[in-house]
Amino acid sequence: MLIIGTIVVILLTIGIVWLIDKFVPKNLKPILNILLWIGIAFLAYNTYKSVYGVIEFNKLKEKRYAQVIDKLIDIRDAQLAHKQITGKYTDSFDNLIKFIDTASFTLTQRRDSTVLDEEATARYGGVETFKTIILIDTLGTESVKDSLFGTDNRYRSMMNVPVGEEGAKFKLEAGELDGTPVFEARVDKSVILFDQDKNYVKNEQEVVSVDGVNGPALIVGSMSEVNTNGNWPKNYSQKE
C-alpha cells in the first residue's frame, strides 16, 4: 500500500507541474513552485515517518513477543508435568504453582532381562526356552521444581504478562476434548502492544503469515483440538 501511495503522489506531482507550466501565468509560477516544494517535502517526511514507524513497531513487537512466548513455554512445561503426574491439566495458576512446589517425578530405569519361559519349555518337552522381559526399576524421585526450573523462582509469576499493559494476566483454561485432557493459555496482542499505534496493532491482529504470529493473540495449547504447540514460528524463541 505504501508503494502504491508513493507512486500516486509522484504521478500527481508530475501532473501538477505540467498544469502549472501550461496554464499558470509566469508571475505566479514562483509562488506556486514554492508551495509545491513545501507540499512535496511534507509528503516525503510523512512517507519516511510511516516507513520508520513500521520498522520500529516491528522491532518492539518482536522483542515483546519473545518475552511473552518464554512465559507461555514455562506454562506449557508446567502443565505437561501436571498432566504426567495427575492425569489432567489445571485451569488455576494457584494450583499450578502449588503443584510445582510440592510434586515430584518418579525416576525409573527400563532394562531388558532374560528369564525361563516355563510354558514354552513344557511345550517343547523340557527343552529350556527363554524369553526377554522388560523390567522397570524405581530409582527415586525428583521434584518438579528442580526438574523444570532449578533454583529459578520465575514460575511463581507465570500468570503475569511480562510486557505491555500493566497488571495484565494470561488467560488459562483446561478441560477435556472427547475424553482427552486439553489446556490453553493466551493473551491478546492488543494487551502486549497496548501503547502502540492503533492502526499498526489492528494490522498485526489480522496477520496471516508463515513468519508471523497469526491471529489476534499469542496462544499455547488449544481448547478446540488436542494440541500443546504455540501459534508462533520458531524464530521467536530460543527455548524451542
What SS3 class is residue 53? helix
Contact in structure between 174 and 90 (CB atoms under 8 Å): yes
| Residues 204 and 178 sit within 8 Å (Cβ to Cβ) | no
> Per-domain residue ranges for the chain?
2-53, 54-236
Q: pLDDT (tens digit, 9 = 90+) per residue, 92-108?
A: 999 999 999 999 866 55
CA distance 17 to 20: 5
| Mean pLDDT calculated for residue range 27-37 | 67
* pLDDT level of residue 227 (50, 70, 90 thresholds): very high
* Number of other residues whose CB lies within 10 A of the CB of residue 2: 10
pLDDT digits (tens, 9 = 90+) for 182-202: 999 999 999 999 999 999 999
How high is the pLDDT of residue 81? 95
pLDDT tens-digit readout, 149-187: 999 999 999 999 999 999 999 999 999 999 999 999 999
Residue 22 has what pLDDT?
A: 65
Q: What is the pLDDT of residue 5?
A: 56
Judged on CB neighbours under 10 Å (0-12, 13-18, 19+), 145 is buried
Site of grid cell 496462544: 219
Query: What gap in Å lies between CA 95 and CA 97, rounded to an integer?
Result: 6
The whole-number average pLDDT for the span 217-232 is 95
